[in-house]
Chains A and B, each alone.
Chain A
Amino acid sequence: DIQMTQSPSTLSASVGDRVTITCRASQSISSWLAWYQQKPGKAPKLLIYKASSLESGVPSRFSGSGSGTEFTLTISSLQPDDFATYYCQQYNSYSLTFGGGTKVEIK
């Protein structure tokens, strides 16, 4: 099984900050990586797919990069609506694995 390790698990930041979340795969997954945002009591929302493709309707302050085993999600200027938990997810050989999540809190 491919394991996904996200860091940090919690991040404290202020509005306007640049925020970076990292996700590492236990083996190469090419670009088969997605990022999600989840708010309390809600289903996750797709932000990024294929490692760096922005889902339609998602603000351009969100960006993804990486390939192979190391990936990042960047929020260029944190907005009040962005305080949430973020998950990465890999897809390989019809199997999915999620990272443990990163909670972005208000500093």
Chain B
Amino acid sequence: QLQLQESGPGLVKPSETLSLTCTVSGGSISSSSYYWGWIRQPPGKGLEWIGSIYYSGSTYYNPSLKSRVTISVDTSKNQFSLKLSSVTAADTAVYYCARLDTIFGEIDYWGQGTLVTVSS
């Protein structure tokens, strides 16, 4: 059974960089059938796609966040990571990592989510 687990600091100061890692177990991140992505959800609000990465390293970002986002992959560790720079309180959210199908783009596996609070 595939499992995804987010890890990283739960508190980040304004203007600093948010860094999270997703560890994939029970399957290979190098599958050609899937992308790996980050989605976030501010408290009490809806879902926002941040970006996706293919095992080859090809990346796709939400245009509204593109200038601040970097997603990378480490196939040797079966992990992928998110960096979001210059954070503000508006970046406070539950951050999910997820697996996306390459053809129809549905998300069939999600991590449990991790709350990241931006505060001094």
- Bin chain B's interface residue count: 20 to 34
Interface-facing stretch out of B9-17, B79-87, B99-107: B99-107
Contact check, A32 vs B104: say whether CB atoms are below 8 A apart: yes
Q: Does B26 count as interface, using CB distance less than 8 angstroms?
A: no
A residues 21-37 near B (Cβ < 8 Å) are 31-32, 34, 36
A34–B52 Cα distance when bound, in Å, is 17
Contact check, B108 vs A44: say whether CB atoms are below 8 A apart: no
Q: Does A98 count as interface, using CB distance less than 8 angstroms?
A: yes
Interface of B: prevailing SS: strand
Minimum CB–CB distance for A8 against chain B, Å: 14
Q: Does A55 count as interface, using CB distance less than 8 angstroms?
A: yes
Chain B residues with Cβ under 8 A from A95's Cβ?
49, 60, 62-63
Minimum CB–CB distance for A77 against chain B, Å: 25
Minimum CB–CB distance for A74 against chain B, Å: 18
A104–B83 Cα distance when bound, in Å, is 34
Contact of A44 among B52, B101, B105, B110 (CB under 8 A): B110
Chain B residues with Cβ under 8 A from A45's Cβ?
110
Identify the B interface with A (CB < 8 A): 35, 37, 39, 46-49, 52, 60, 62-63, 96, 100-101, 104-108, 110-113
What are 22 A-B interface contacts by the 8 Å CB criterion?
A: A31-B104, A32-B104, A34-B104, A43-B96, A43-B110, A44-B47, A44-B110, A46-B106, A50-B104, A55-B106, A55-B108, A89-B106, A89-B107, A91-B105, A91-B106, A92-B105, A94-B35, A94-B52, A95-B49, A95-B60, A96-B37, A96-B39
